[in-house]
Amino acid sequence: MAAAEKTLLVDCDTGVDDAIALLYLLADPKVEVCGITTVFGNISATMAARNTLCVLDVAGRTGSVPVAVGSEVTLTGEAPVHGTHVHGSNGLGGVKLSAPAGRPETVSAAEMIVRTARERPGKVHMLATGPLTNLAVALRLEPKLPQLIAGVTIMGGAASAPGNVTPAAEANVWHDPEAAQAVFSAPWATTLVPLDATMGEVMSEQQRLSLAASRSPTARFAAAILDHYFDFYTPIFGRRSCPCHDALAAGVATGEVVPQRAMTVGITVETGCGPARGATICDLRGSYRGEQRQPGATCTVVLETSGRFAEDIVRRLVGGPGA
């Protein structure tokens, strides 16, 4: 097999779209997923790890990727609010799962992030598709982390788009605004894939049914876990469909998705207790002058992608193991 072109350490709260993102990455021969860490969010970090291990089994990758459990509470110690109404009681659409063959590592998520970054300085790229608590804890453990990590791609926030938990806030940032603020203010190259982009990448019921009809067990598993997720999004879009939030961030992280519109700007997270708590305030004022980059900024905000990414996901999963 050819050497992987990108090494990714994925931090996620394995609900439905995180699982799709993982399956998408695990089926890419150009990507090495060198570790997966889990965080509370859609469900508990412990259940997210269990779901991740199940996803590895489905992908035929049992035991090949270390999994570590991370934070169950916010950076400030607040109790979590889980998103089971979106992702189902077990985080994977309520689909009955066999017990996973693998087990999580004994190190914590933040320790695994720091250890991996130290072992392979400058080589590992992080993809975060859940609340940013583990990354914020890792930054506390190793303040030089931004110099050790090649870059960070994050699914989260809303630049000009409406929020999805409140009118102002997107779920991953809303779950732990203090952690998000710590991550956005760290001096690393960050790419944010917010709702502005992800709500424009929609999978149709026809595409889900083509996954269900596939010979690939990976594709059929994806179709099954997506069923409940489609139910949640049906009243939002007015038709059976769902956005490809976390998989889009995965595609951006690997370079397979090239943004059609992006700006490199400062980001501040609202951490007050008012109605805008968890809002990501992206300084897009340069757009009035046609500027794409704010001097000194290190965070690139993806504002628009092609709108055709679901086709790539379907093609990848239908061609997956066992097809």
Indicate if 228 belongs to the active site.
Answer: no
Give least dist CB 144 to Ca ion, A: 27
CA–CA dist 133, 71 (Å, integer): 7
Binding mask 111-150 for ligand BDR (x = CB under 6 A): ------------------xx--------------------
What are the strands, taking DSSP E only, across 42-86? 67-69
Binding mask 228-257 for Ca ion (x = CB under 5 A): ------------------x-----------
CA–CA dist 247, 18 (Å, integer): 7
Q: Of 245, 265, 269, 279, which one interacts with ligand BDR (CB under 6 A)?
A: 245
134: which 2 tokens?
Answer: 């583990």
Nearest to 199 by CA among 170, 223, 167, 219: 170
- Catalytic-labelled residue, pool 176, 245, 246, 312: 245
Binding mask 12-41 for ligand BDR (x = CB under 6 A): ---x-xx-----------------------
Q: Of 42, 44, 52, 241, which one interacts with ligand BDR (CB under 6 A)?
A: 42
Looking up tokens 């990108």 gives: 6
CA–CA dist 216, 317 (Å, integer): 7
Among Ca ion, ligand BDR, none, the one that 170 touches (CB under a kind-dependent 5 to 8 A) is ligand BDR
Among Ca ion, ligand BDR, none, the one that 164 touches (CB under a kind-dependent 5 to 8 A) is ligand BDR
Angle between the N-to-C axes of helices 217-237 and 309-318, in degrees from 0 to 180, rounded to the nearest 10: 150
CA–CA dist 70, 127 (Å, integer): 15
CA–CA dist 15, 37 (Å, integer): 13
Q: Which residues lie near Ca ion (CB under 5 A)?
A: 13, 18, 129-130, 246
